[in-house]
Chains A and B, each alone.
Chain A
Amino acid sequence: MERRWSPVFNPSNLLKAIWQWVDARLDLSPIVKHASEKQVPEHRHSSWYYWGGICLFLFVVQVLTGVLLMVYYRSGPDAYDSVREITYQIRFGWLIRSVHAWSANLMIFAVFVHMFSVFFMKAYRQPREFGWWSGLGLLGLCMVFGFSGYLLPMDELAFFATRVGLAIPETLPGMSGIISAVLRGGPEVASATLQRFFALHVVVLPALFAPLLGIHLWLVQKHGNALPPSEEAKPEAERKSVPFFPNFAMRDMAVWLIVLNVIAVLAALFPWQLDAAADPLKPAPPGIHPEWYFMSQFEALKLLGRVIPGTLGEFAGVGLFTLALLMWAAVPLFDTRTAPGQRGRNTTLFGLLVLIAVIALTVIGYIEVL
């Protein structure tokens, strides 16, 4: 006898039924409708749109590998030994650690690229000011993530670099007590510091980062992708776009795959090494310097310190930095053009100046320490 399948067992009917059941309870239809109606502009600068997605992907890699590392990582006096076990004994532990470290660096790089692309495309202008500020907040948190994560292996390099890093703000009047009490947990970088950095890295920062990221993504969805002034100037009929789903989403995934492969190559060919265990009694090894993303700030302070020696120089340096950072954050308040196509050349020049200064100071910093 021929066996007939009832329509209810048809896979597409079954999927439809499941979808209806879920949608009736969670009301997901508007989100799907939004995704299917959303358009992404297509023009000669549209490759910059991928960088936000790259940052998000790298963050996901960070979370996944971070959780796996936490399975074996032991904060406190055993920290170094646990990282040694991860790197040299646990199967593929070295891979997870290398992927975590490389993707952290790539993520900060991607966030920088994303920030400058947003800046030069003038995507901070009305109504996207909060997108700009939330993005800057995320960059700041990423850098603190990097700084706190660097100490966790508690090897020689991590120990001395953290000691140098924490000594910079300590020179400012009134800061010494705060740094000692809050971050270092005592007069020296030690076990207490490690515990605080660990708590910061895995609890405090994610707790701040996740909601801020949620707000940032919600704003991106709400306002859509910004058009650069050169595209805004075109009549609407000449502008082109592609649907976000599935066209742009598929391209996004392809870019993520390429990024994943870049991480794999870096982790495989240049696996993250582990130095000797930190020994506070030993002298600092030569050439200790901050990570590359702090290098421009470090070098600027150093150069300023040569012009104005002593605490005054440090104070002036930090003051100048704060001012520059505030100006950078306040760009949407200065550049308030709303008519389409207005380029804002002075703002572009300011952005170029900042970009060149950051790159030049980083390069000079590396030339000096190497």
Chain B
Amino acid sequence: MNYPVWDVTFLGSGLMIALIAIFHVFISHFAVGGGFYLPMTEALALRKGRKDWMEQLKKHSKFFLILTGVFGAVTGVGIWFVIGLANPEATSTLIHFWVFAWGIEWVVFLVELSSIAAYYYLWGRVSDALHIKIGWVYAITAWLSLFAINGILTFMLTPGQPWLAVAGSGHETFAFWSAFFNPTFWPSLLVRTLICLSMAGVFALVSASRIDGEKHPELKTETILWARKWLLPSFLLLPVGLFWYLSQVPEGHRALLSLGAATVGQGLFTILTRLTIVLALASFGTVASVYLLTSQRNAVGFRLGAALGIASLAYMTIGATEMLREMLRKPYVIGQHMYSNGVRKSEVAGFNQNGYLTKTLWVRPEERARWAAEDQAAASGAPRIVNPARGELMFRGQCMACHTWDGYRGMRTFLKGRDRQGVSNIVNVLHAYRADSPYRPFMPPLVGTQAEVESLIDYLTSQVSAPKPQPSKP
């Protein structure tokens, strides 16, 4: 069964997920890394007997609580809304299989939120030792929530053979742990933990930039020099983690990375190469600019604008990493199991035989009966009836999770200048889905009976040949 698809004009639902998810990852990785930063810095300040630093840390923990507790939580719920609308079939599969993992994650999350609230509100009200312990409770539970989510996210790229062997049999739960500790679990956990630590440093720099350097030059310098140390492990070990991660990704997916070396052609998955360039440059840029802007000489004059510049670079790094991870999965939304159009690998033959739109609830019965009669008549030699409305349903079901008409991955640009034959050539290549098809590495198969495929061609041709809608002028 396919669902009616959420229509996000221009941006497209895929980009909508990216916009919300990247912001969420930016905040949530800070929530995890900052968890370690708080008790470690508090212990350091205590050891040095620095009351001024403790005061500064209290202000930082307020900033931390508001940013992670409000924006992190709201965007987390936002992701649920948007993935449920953009790809309901995949979301449904994940909910059904991972229900207990998510249950555990929610419990951990509850402890996490309670402990960070306690950490902030108990400043000066409990002993220092207990306060630091509360900080560690937060740090560990925050990291455990990352641990749980990491299992689910990496499963989507590499579910592993044991799970794939039982997928669809009703016995998937027996492969729960092998699916959780799948091939990319550990390298991804390393990469994400490193990113979390560097995000702690980045946000500590943001709050340190607000210290009045003229009044407190020593505090400002010391806070900044301590904060920037948090970026180094990530910068030095991230390439190792990424190579380890990529070595665990199936070869077919990894090959996508080189698609953009020689070309930037429309419709190809060259974006992966392009994102890799951004990732490499932005991660280097973040660390290098931190060290240039916060050198011993410049620390006192370090301002909010500079800190936000660094935070923007970190945002670019995270954005590129997340988009890369999402796109490496193509043509699947759940690796080797479900294609990005929500069609399971095991269902392709059935859809091609019996039709894609046969079971959808979003068609009136009389309409379905008319289509069946038309198909039968066409099979016995009657002229085929052009049916773009039926094609539009195919488009909404199988294309719109990724494509828009005039914006992100815009179909009008891809199909520009093609007549019906030109459109038909592409669509039929996607339908045949031969092993040597140039689209196979990144596009899912187009499923349905030949009559349904023809109706999709009717619809696409009618849209491409129609003039682009112009905004009305006053």
On whether the two chains bind one another, the answer is yes
Residues of A within 8 A of B262 (CB): 88-93
Q: Evaluate contact between B282 and A261: CB separation under 8 angstroms.
A: yes
Select which of A87, A254, A370 is within 8 A of B289 by beta carbon: A254
Select which of A243, A254, A257, A271 is within 8 A of B264 by beta carbon: A271
Task: Kindly state whether residue A178 has any CB partner on chain B within 8 Å.
Answer: no
Q: Evaluate contact between B263 and A250: CB separation under 8 angstroms.
A: no
- Of B183-191, B201-209, B304-312, the segment with at least 4 beta carbons within 8 Å of chain A is B304-312
Task: Kindly state whether residue B211 has any CB partner on chain A within 8 Å.
Answer: no
Q: Taking A246-B297, A255-B309, A257-B292 as contacts, is the C-beta distance between A94 and B285 under 8 angstroms?
A: no
Task: Kindly state whether residue A29 has any CB partner on chain B within 8 Å.
Answer: no
Q: Which residues 84-120 of A have a CB within 8 angstroms of B?
A: 87-95, 98
- Of A127-135, A157-165, A262-270, A291-299, the segment with at least 4 beta carbons within 8 Å of chain B is A262-270
Select which of A42, A88, A246, A264 is within 8 A of B277 by beta carbon: A264
Q: Mark A266-279, 1 if CB is under 8 A from B, else 0.
A: 01110101000000
Task: Kindly state whether residue B275 has any CB partner on chain A within 8 Å.
Answer: yes
A185 to chain B, nearest CB (A): 32
* Whole-angstrom CA separation of A92 from B270 in the bound complex: 11
Residues of A within 8 A of B265 (CB): 88
Task: Kindly state whether residue A318 has any CB partner on chain B within 8 Å.
Answer: no
* Whole-angstrom CA separation of A246 from B295 in the bound complex: 10
Q: Mark B284-313, 1 if CB is under 8 A from A, else 0.
A: 010011001101011001000110010011
Q: Taking A254-B309, A264-B282, A268-B278 as contacts, is the C-beta distance between A94 and B264 under 8 angstroms?
A: yes
Q: Evaluate contact between B301 and A258: CB separation under 8 angstroms.
A: no
B412 to chain A, nearest CB (A): 14
A10 to chain B, nearest CB (A): 25
Q: Evaluate contact between A92 and B261: CB separation under 8 angstroms.
A: yes
Q: Evaluate contact between A257 and B285: CB separation under 8 angstroms.
A: yes
Task: Kindly state whether residue A253 has any CB partner on chain B within 8 Å.
Answer: yes
B172 to chain A, nearest CB (A): 37
Task: Kindly state whether residue B197 has any CB partner on chain A within 8 Å.
Answer: no
Select which of B264, B293, B295, B306 is within 8 A of A87 by beta carbon: B264
A68 to chain B, nearest CB (A): 15
Task: Kindly state whether residue B394 has any CB partner on chain A within 8 Å.
Answer: no
A336 to chain B, nearest CB (A): 34
B384 to chain A, nearest CB (A): 33
Task: Kindly state whether residue B137 has any CB partner on chain A within 8 Å.
Answer: no
* Whole-angstrom CA separation of A91 from B301 in the bound complex: 43
B262 to chain A, nearest CB (A): 5
The SS class assigned to the B binding surface is helix
Residues of A within 8 A of B309 (CB): 254-255, 258
Q: Evaluate contact between A261 and B313: CB separation under 8 angstroms.
A: yes
Q: Evaluate contact between A254 and B292: CB separation under 8 angstroms.
A: yes
Task: Kindly state whether residue B443 has any CB partner on chain A within 8 Å.
Answer: no
Q: Evaluate contact between B263 and A254: CB separation under 8 angstroms.
A: no
Q: Evaluate contact between A254 and B306: CB separation under 8 angstroms.
A: yes
* Whole-angstrom CA separation of A255 from B293 in the bound complex: 9
Task: Kindly state whether residue B316 has any CB partner on chain A within 8 Å.
Answer: yes
* Whole-angstrom CA separation of A79 from B260 in the bound complex: 23
* Whole-angstrom CA separation of A258 from B293 in the bound complex: 12
Residues of B within 8 A of A242 (CB): 298, 301
Residues of A within 8 A of B261 (CB): 91-92
Select which of A47, A247, A254, A255 is within 8 A of B297 by beta carbon: A247
Residues of B within 8 A of A258 (CB): 285, 289, 309, 312-313
Q: Mark A239-256, 1 if CB is under 8 A from B, else 0.
A: 000110011001101110
Q: Evaluate contact between A268 and B289: CB separation under 8 angstroms.
A: no
Task: Kindly state whether residue B325 has any CB partner on chain A within 8 Å.
Answer: no
* Whole-angstrom CA separation of A47 from B308 in the bound complex: 13
* Whole-angstrom CA separation of A87 from B271 in the bound complex: 14
Q: Evaluate contact between A260 and B285: CB separation under 8 angstroms.
A: yes
* Whole-angstrom CA separation of A147 from B278 in the bound complex: 29
Select which of B260, B274, B285, B293 is within 8 A of A250 by beta carbon: B293
Q: Which residues 380-419 of B have a CB within 8 angstroms of A?
A: none
* Whole-angstrom CA separation of A246 from B297 in the bound complex: 8
Select which of A90, A98, A261, A271 is within 8 A of B285 by beta carbon: A261
A34 to chain B, nearest CB (A): 19
Task: Kindly state whether residue B281 has any CB partner on chain A within 8 Å.
Answer: yes
B461 to chain A, nearest CB (A): 21
Residues of B within 8 A of A87 (CB): 263-264
Residues of B within 8 A of A250 (CB): 292-293, 295, 297-298
Select which of B275, B281, B292, B297 is within 8 A of A260 by beta carbon: B281
Residues of B within 8 A of A95 (CB): 264, 274, 277
Q: Evaluate contact between A265 and B288: CB separation under 8 angstroms.
A: no
Q: Evaluate contact between A264 and B292: CB separation under 8 angstroms.
A: no
* Whole-angstrom CA separation of A243 from B298 in the bound complex: 10
B23 to chain A, nearest CB (A): 16
Of the listed residues B264, B285, B288, the one surrounded by the most CB atoms of chain A closer than 10 A to its CB is B264
Q: Evaluate contact between A251 and B306: CB separation under 8 angstroms.
A: yes
* Whole-angstrom CA separation of A258 from B314 in the bound complex: 11
* Whole-angstrom CA separation of A175 from B254 in the bound complex: 59
B228 to chain A, nearest CB (A): 12
* Whole-angstrom CA separation of A285 from B262 in the bound complex: 29
Q: Evaluate contact between A254 and B293: CB separation under 8 angstroms.
A: yes
Q: Evaluate contact between B285 and A251: CB separation under 8 angstroms.
A: no
Q: Taking A47-B305, A250-B292 as contacts, is the C-beta distance between A268 and B297 under 8 angstroms?
A: no
Q: Evaluate contact between A247 and B298: CB separation under 8 angstroms.
A: yes
Select which of B281, B293, B471 is within 8 A of A261 by beta carbon: B281
* Whole-angstrom CA separation of A250 from B292 in the bound complex: 5
Residues of A within 8 A of B295 (CB): 246-247, 250
B262, closest chain A residue (CB): A91
* Whole-angstrom CA separation of A268 from B277 in the bound complex: 8
* Whole-angstrom CA separation of A194 from B298 in the bound complex: 49
B306 to chain A, nearest CB (A): 7
* Whole-angstrom CA separation of A139 from B260 in the bound complex: 35
B132 to chain A, nearest CB (A): 34
21 A–B contacts from the bound complex (CB under 8 Å):
A87-B264, A88-B263, A88-B265, A92-B261, A95-B264, A95-B277, A242-B298, A243-B297, A246-B297, A247-B298, A250-B292, A250-B298, A251-B306, A253-B292, A258-B289, A258-B313, A261-B282, A265-B278, A268-B277, A268-B278, A269-B278
Task: Return the 6 tightest CB-CB contacts between A and B, nearest first.
Answer: A268-B274, A94-B264, A254-B292, A254-B289, A250-B292, A257-B285
Chain A residues packing against B (C-beta within 8 Å): 42, 47, 87-95, 98, 242-243, 246-247, 250-251, 253-255, 257-258, 260-261, 264-265, 267-269, 271, 273, 370
Chain B residues packing against A (C-beta within 8 Å): 260-266, 271, 274-275, 277-278, 281-282, 285, 288-289, 292-293, 295, 297-298, 301, 305-306, 309, 312-313, 316, 471
Could you list 7 further interchain pairs (A-B, Cβ under 8 angstroms) beyond the known A254-B292, A260-B281, A268-B275? A88-B264, A89-B262, A93-B262, A251-B298, A257-B292, A260-B285, A268-B278
